[in-house]
Amino acid sequence: MILGLDPSLRGTGYAVLRSDRARAVALTHGTIACPANWPRTRCLAHIARTVRRLLRQHRPAVCVVEGLFYAQNLKTALILGEARGAALAVVAEAGLEVYEIAPRKVKQAIVGYGAARKEAVGRMVQRLLGLRDVPEPDAADALALALAHAQAAGHPGLAALKSL
Amino acid sequence: MILGLDPSLRGTGYAVLRSDRARAVALTHGTIACPANWPRTRCLAHIARTVRRLLRQHRPAVCVVEGLFYAQNLKTALILGEARGAALAVVAEAGLEVYEIAPRKVKQAIVGYGAARKEAVGRMVQRLLGLRDVPEPDAADALALALAHAQAAGHPGLAALKSL
């Protein structure tokens, strides 16, 4: 079982995938939403609590997050880092192995093209997992991370996974 | 009871202060050290676990962290943010109020001079709290944060405290 996480302060995408060699199935996916009027610390607590609940419900053994991140400036990077830290501390305390994949590699694995647009990723994730609807962007990113890891894990050597 | 925290991935300073109008007493202070060969996620788990233990032992009602942070580049800011997020999520989940104070204001409150050097802060913290030794730098910063908050809380209007 693989937990894909795309943390950010206001909308953390998450996905839990069960995968074997034949196929991958999405057990759950969604967004941990924190309204703009919540103080930052309330968001961090909400992210930590929700991730802990996901771990209890699904017991994934592995967690995958984005490796190279995008941030416009130092302040954005700090805030994004806080959201990642809130989520990853829970994951690490629970003993999961944590891997990073670069966003370009995720797109390459899912769409076959490293510079693919967000919508293309969403539609491809929908198709690969047989989802009824195109998932929301944050959840789609988390699903794509988990899927890319599942593919890479099934084909050792295909992608270099770096343990965090 | 006030918890001062100066988070960073490899050395998070912490301090718990009991303060009334007459004086402040340091109940504990130290550094949450994470060796350079630990993976990042192991550090985050260690920070979260140690902060949780501090909360259980001392039950502070308030936490103070640095408001304006210093980071050399986006990667440093992200990593610093992760350490802050790991610590602050635990603090926020436990229901503490979290405040930020700018480093300059802390130095102003403790040494009387916003651009004071680290050693001056350490020696002043030692004197104000009657500590036997000059505390290590990370712990000194955490003690200074908690002290600055105690002073500001005793003199409303002296410093503007921003809730996180």
Say which of B47, B80, B164 has its CB closest to residue A41. B164
pLDDT at residue B59 in the model: 97
Chosen for mutation from B46, B66, B78 (greatest number of chain A CBs closer than 10 Å) is B78
- Strands, sheet with A2-6, edge to edge from the N-terminal-most edge strand: A24-33, A11-19, A2-6, A62-66, A97-101, A162-163
Those residues whose C-beta lies under 8 Å from the C-beta of residue B135, and which sit 6 or more positions away, are: B29, B122, B125, B126, B143
Question: What is the model's pLDDT at position B127?
Answer: 95
- Cα atoms in the Cβ-side hemisphere of radius 13 Å centred on A130: 5
Q: Which of B91, B64, B69 is nearest to A81 (CA)?
A: B69
What pLDDT does A59 receive?
Answer: 97
Q: Does B72 touch chain A (CB under 8 A)?
A: no
Indicate the pTM of the whole model.
Answer: 0.93
CA A31 to chain B, closest CA, distance in angstroms equals 18
- Residue range B42-54: mean pLDDT, rounded: 98
Look at residue A156 in the predicted model and tell me its pLDDT. Answer: 53
Residue range A152-156: mean pLDDT, rounded:
67
pLDDT at residue A23, rounded to an integer: 84
Average per-residue pLDDT for chain A: 91
| pLDDT at position B161 over 80 | no
Pairwise CB contact (< 8 Å): A44 & B71? no
Give CA–CA dist B23/A87, Å, rounded. Answer: 38
Please tell me which of the candidates A48, A49, A84 has its beta carbon nearest to residue B82: A84
Strands (E) in chain B, as ranges, are 2-6, 11-19, 24-33, 62-66, 97-101, 162-163
Q: Is A133 a catalytic residue?
A: no
CB < 8 Å to B164, chain A: 39-41
To the nearest whole Å, the CA of A110 is away from the closest chain B CA by 26
- DSSP state letters, A17-29: EEE-SS-EEEEEE
Higher pLDDT, B59 or B156: B59
In this predicted structure, the answer to whether residue A80 has a pLDDT above a threshold of 70 is: yes
Give A45's contacts in chain B (Cβ within 8 Å). 89, 92-93
Question: Which ipTM was obtained for this model?
Answer: 0.92
Q: Quick one: pLDDT band at residue A69, thresholds 50, 70, 90? A: low
Is B134 within 8 Å of chain A by CB? no
Three-state secondary structure call for residue B94 = coil
Higher-confidence position of A116 and A122: A122
Q: Tell me: the pLDDT tens digits for A34-66?
A: 999 999 999 999 999 999 999 999 999 999 999
Structural domains in chain B plus CATH codes: 2-163 (3.30.420.10)
| Given the residues B6, B82, B100, B141, the one annotated as active site | B6
Pick the range with the lowest mean pLDDT from A73-77, A156-160, B110-114, B119-123: A156-160
B37-59: b or e for each residue (b if 16 or more CB lie within 10 Å)?
Answer: eeebbbbbbbbbbbbbebbeeee
State the residue for tokens 């410093």: B159
- B162 at the A interface (CB within 8 A)? no
| pLDDT confidence of residue A158 | 46
pLDDT-above-90 percentage for chain B: 76
